[in-house]
């Protein structure tokens, strides 16, 4: 094979990981089998195992694909900020993330990852993704660490509001959590 040309298998690996994102987001780690991912990718389970020798590695690859999309969206958001002010950059990054997770697939995959983070490969993948987001937010915004921490905490609060449907509850406790937070 000529240098620089990817084999069919090398081209198929990211497609399988992207399919795994959707499958694991739908069924979770425990409710999704490698055969489910293979079926959705229209390949055999043996071919999936050629790329990812275990279900844990497959989930970790899906998580990496998820965070690749998150980082790309945050980069675009930072580039579209209204000004070079750190707060404006973080706000623009947050807006870009909110748009990205509007269909909730990536959001739900992250929630599933948090629920099985005690599995070493998945916990490591989750921490690696969070590290990428924190380092990007810090580098692109130039914000102080406390502002980056608030940005991350706000993002996790948004996850909670969306997944628990808090934004649909009119009670005072829910309004307190949801105050000023809008989701597409």
136 closest CA partner among 67, 75, 184, 64: 75
When the pLDDT of each residue in the chain is averaged and rounded to a whole number, the result is 93
Residue 145 pLDDT greater than 90, yes or no: yes
Q: Specify the CATH number for the domain of residue 78.
A: 1.10.357.10
Residue 141 has pLDDT above 50, yes or no: yes
Query: For residue 1, is it within any domain?
Result: no
For residue 102, the tally of other CB atoms under 10 A from its CB is 13
Query: How far is residue 178 from each of residues 19, 122, 150, 157, measured CA to CA in Å?
Result: 32, 30, 15, 9
Integer angstrom CA distances of residue 151 from 1, 117, 119, 125: 46, 22, 27, 21
Q: What percent of the chain has pLDDT over 70?
A: 94
Question: Does residue 90 form part of some domain?
Answer: yes
C-alpha 99 chain-centroid distance: 13
pLDDT tops 60 at residue 21: yes
Residue 183 above 70 pLDDT? Answer: no
Domain count, the chain: 1
pTM score, whole prediction: 0.90
* Residue 120 placed within a domain: yes
Taking alpha carbons only, the member of 56, 50, 49, 26 closest to residue 125 is: 56
Is residue 2 domain-resident? no
Query: What is the domain range of residue 150?
Result: 8-178
**Rounded Cα distance, 9 and 184, in Å:** 37
**What mean pLDDT do residues 23-41 have?**
97
Q: What three-state secondary structure class fits 154?
A: helix
Does residue 146 carry a pLDDT above 70?
A: yes
- In this predicted structure, the answer to whether residue 9 has a pLDDT above a threshold of 90 is no
Give residue 165's region: left, alpha or beta (phi > 0; psi -120 to 50): left
Condensed to tens digits (0 to 9), the pLDDT of residues 46-100 reads 999 999 999 999 999 999 999 999 999 999 999 999 999 999 999 999 999 999 9
pLDDT, one tens digit per residue, over 105-121 is: 999 999 999 999 999 99
How confident is the model at residue 1, as a pLDDT? Answer: 46
Task: Copy the structure tokens of residue 56.
Answer: 């844990």
Query: Quick one: pLDDT at residue 180?
Result: 81
Position 41 in a domain:
yes
Q: Residue 102 — pLDDT band, cuts 50, 70, 90?
A: confident
Q: What are the Cα distances from residue 68, in Å, to 2, 18, 33, 132, 181? A: 28, 11, 23, 9, 25
Is there a domain that residue 135 lies in?
A: yes
């Amino acid at each position: 094979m000529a240098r620089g040309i990817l084999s069919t298998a090398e081209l198929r690996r990211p497609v399988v990981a992207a399919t795994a994102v959707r499958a694991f987001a739908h069924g979770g780690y425990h409710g999704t089998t490698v055969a489910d991912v293979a079926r959705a990718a229209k390949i055999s389970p043996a071919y999936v195992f050629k790329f990812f020798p275990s279900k844990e590695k497959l989930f970790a690859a899906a998580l990496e694909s998820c965070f690749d999309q998150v980082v790309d969206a945050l980069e675009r958001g930072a580039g579209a900020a209204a000004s070079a002010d750190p707060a404006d950059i973080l706000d623009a990054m947050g807006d870009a993330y909110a748009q990205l997770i509007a269909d909730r697939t990536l959001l739900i995959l992250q929630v599933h990852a948090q629920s099985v983070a005690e599995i070493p490969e998945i916990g490591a993948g989750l921490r690696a993704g969070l590290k990428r987001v924190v380092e990007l937010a810090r580098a692109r915004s130039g914000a102080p660490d406390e502002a980056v921490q608030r940005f991350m905490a706000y993002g996790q609060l948004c996850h909670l509001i969306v997944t628990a449907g808090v934004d649909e509850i009119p009670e005072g406790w829910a309004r307190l959590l949801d105050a000023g937070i809008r989701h597409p």
